[in-house]
Amino acid sequence: MKTNRDNVDNVPPEQRPLGVPAAEKARNFRLVCFAMTSAFLVHSMLLVAVPVYALELGASPLLLGVIFSAPFLLPLILAIPAGAVVTRFGGRNPMLMGALALAVGTFSMACFPGLGGLIFAQLIIGLAQLHMVLAAQIVISGLDSGKPLERYFGWYTMWLSGGQVVGPLLIGTLLEIGGNTERLFLVMSVIAMVGALGAGRLAGKARQGMVVERSVTGYRAQGRLLKSNHGVQVSIAVSVVAMYAISVYGSYLPVYLDSLEISAVMMGMLISMRTLSSMLVRPFTSQWISFAGGRERATLVAILLLALGLMFTGLTDNYIVLGALAVMVGLGAGICMPLSIVVMAESVDSRQRSGALGMRLMANRGVNFLAPLVFALSLDFGGFGLAFSAGGTVMLAAGCGLFVFLSRRNRVSHTA
């Protein structure tokens, strides 16, 4: 994760995207943002609706962990093959199919009530999100490189955060005025269908796939890439650390707030504060990197914010303090996630990119799957205070480990 990638010339020629007409760049970027904002709007609504619905059905804390982890089980297994699918068919078709599957998943929650139907729908939704996210990252990675690519991903992730801000507020308001949870799942299905309209209109390079040997896209190829490529190693490490905080915070903050008997509207506001802060910082990712003195320092500061925000959440019931901690987590996530994608995209050539991004997503989904279960065990053992504090401590230790790794790598590069 070097600090001197200030222009396209710093990116090796084989890793630069082929020329894309400016009009096509603008059109595809807008359509990807539209489709993915719709998807993340649905996702953020589910983050509030699923815990509330599961509690209505009488789910235990451990069963809650199973429900929260269900969307990440199939992506954990299929992320790398999904990368091969995106490479073969381009970004448009996988994104469209993912949007349609998201609509089917939310629709099935309304049609098949109960814990079994909920878990089944979560599995479908997880697979849908995998294909949409991976396809979107591939489309945007092909638009540019260097500082322009940082800006593209900054604005792209800002739009996603916009959906995450509106979602909890919308679902909280609808629940507060007495909306039936199962009917609200139908509303989410319609929103997902609207996003599918945007995905279906992607054109040009977004529709183009490439035939690549299995030796480049398979599991073994990604294992070799992870072992030999420092940029890939750093990208995955940063992504995993950030995703741990995002997963735990997103899954269990609504449950914690519900235990404090906070209203649905206030719950939605506190959850949205995290996503709002993420949204506002992401367009300025490039400026933040320059201010912090490079990508490495920017990332380490962001991880510190994530760790401290998570660590102290379970120790207070004050609305103002909870809001401040939510902002800290949002700022940290807002910097870490786009940075990890840019580092990954620039560390490999175009043939390897979808497989590498699929490996990154597989690591993320592994964390998404395990983090709620681990948190549920610590919650059963010692309550919210211990569970959040332990999670923050683990993140702090991981940040220190990343600092040591980067310091050693820099010393080696300076002496080489």
The full set of domain ranges for the chain reads 21-415
For tokens 């222009």, the residue is 7
Torsion of CA 164, 276, 28, 80, to 10 degrees: -60
Decide if pLDDT at 14 tops 60: no
Mean pLDDT of the chain: 82
Which CA distances in Å does 65 have to 167, 182, 314, 376?
22, 21, 17, 6
Q: Do the beta carbons of residue 28 and residue 135 sit within 8 Å? A: no
Decide if pLDDT at 16 tops 60: no
Pairwise CA distance, residues 112 & 116, whole Å: 8
Q: What is the pLDDT of residue 10?
A: 46
More confident residue, 144 or 232: 232
Q: What is the pLDDT of residues 57-90, one digit of tens each?
A: 887 777 887 887 788 788 888 888 888 888 788 8
pTM: 0.73
Q: What is the pLDDT of residue 1?
A: 47
Q: What is the pLDDT of residue 19?
A: 59
Q: What is the pLDDT of residue 182?
A: 79
Contacts of 334 (CB under 8 A, 6+ apart): 157, 161, 277, 278, 279, 280, 281, 282, 285, 302
Name the percent of the chain lying above pLDDT 90. Answer: 18
Pairwise CA distance, residues 362 & 258, whole Å: 31
Q: What is the pLDDT of residues 271-325, one digit of tens each?
A: 778 878 888 888 887 788 888 877 788 888 899 999 999 999 988 888 889 999 9
pLDDT band for position 209 (50/70/90)?
Answer: low
- Which CATH superfamily groups domain 21-415? MFS general substrate transporter like domains (1.20.1250.20)
